[in-house]
Amino acid sequence: MRLAADAMPTVGALFERYWPVIRNRISPGTARGYASAWRQRVGPSFADVPIDQITTLDVERAFAMWSGKRSTKVDALAVLSQVCQVAIKGRLIPVNPCAGVDLPRMQDDDPAARALDWPEVTRLLDVLPASGPYRRFVLGMLYTGCRLGEVAGLRVSDVDWETRTISVSRTASAGANGELVIGPTKGRRIRLVPLADPFVPVVVEASEKKGPHDWLFPGPRGGVLNSQNLSRALDWKNVRGQVKTFAPGEPPLHWHDLRHTALTLMFRAGLSAPDVQAVAGHSTLQVTQRYADTRRDAARRATEALSSFFAPLGLSDPEGGEAEKRASDLGI
């Protein structure tokens, strides 16, 4: 990057010039989120500011004032950080001002709380078509724990009938202009997911009359499904409330919650945390442990133990009386 000594570029100029470089580092879905974050937050805040004039406090102030959910604000911070990294490589600034930003503390997400229980899984199956490509696609997410784009990217040849596994090596999604983009998985690693007995007939049906390189779970016309056309075909916005509802202020049921469901069920089926991590493709065991539901298991065990302990005391008597006297005798 060659610039005159007095020609320090603005954040907007750097973004416009090097957006192709930034986009090349990330997945198509992430790129769409970053582009939106630039238009709605980063650009209005910093586009006209010379890159060497931005301080960490400026970034923290902008983060506090940006609208939207925390995740969308984090996307905006990531976009700005990428631009600053470009400036560092161009020797325009010595350090990234985004690196020292203190984000507000948030309660950890609980993906297990987003998972469907058995009655909810049954309701999901009831709202789906009785057969056909859309039902097979949704079952693909539910049985494998794959992300939606990963299911869309599966080919017939990815199924290994000898080992009863499916190789997950790519994701298929729509690009910025609606074009099909084939890329690596989020973790950029190939992994294997199980082919459980109930899922076998679904995969057999999906593979019929197809070549090894054909899509395993395409739409009815053979094209790749994405969240938009899948939701539209199933009228998902109107029927998902029949499957599971959440408290006011929480987002409604998402397709990604089927991944949460599958990983939670794997723990309930007895898989170890390292096994679930390998199937899920998580980068760390800490991420996987969030699905283990250990807090609920501990609470259930505590409920049984405390119920047995307190039972002789008769403390459930709403009128007090003898129960109150017995409690007093015990020094409670």
Q: How confident is the model at residue 158 (pLDDT cuts 50, 70, 90)?
A: very high
pLDDT of residue 291: 87
Instruction: For residues 152 and 247, give the distance between their C-alpha atoms in angstroms, rounded to a whole number.
Output: 31
**Mean per-residue pLDDT of the chain:** 90
Q: How confident is the model at residue 106 (pLDDT cuts 50, 70, 90)?
A: low
For the record, the structure tokens of 273 come out as: 């945390």
Top-ranked range on mean pLDDT: pick from 95-109, 173-187, 217-231: 217-231
Q: Which CATH architecture has domain 112-288?
A: Orthogonal Bundle (1.10)
115-133 mean pLDDT: 96
Residues of the chain with CATH 1.10.443.10: 112-288
Cβ atoms of residues 119 and 182 within 8 Å: no
Cβ atoms of residues 141 and 151 within 8 Å: yes
134-151 mean pLDDT: 97
pLDDT at 187 over 60: yes
pLDDT of residue 324: 53
pLDDT of residue 107: 63
pLDDT of residue 5: 46
Hey, which residues does 181 pair with through a beta bridge? 173
Show the 3-state SS of 60-113. Answer: HHHHHHCCCCHHHHHHHHHHHHHHHHHHHHCCCCCCCCCCCCCCCCCCCCCHHH
Residues of the chain with CATH 1.10.150: 11-89
Cβ atoms of residues 251 and 143 within 8 Å: no
Q: What CATH number belongs to 11-89? A: 1.10.150
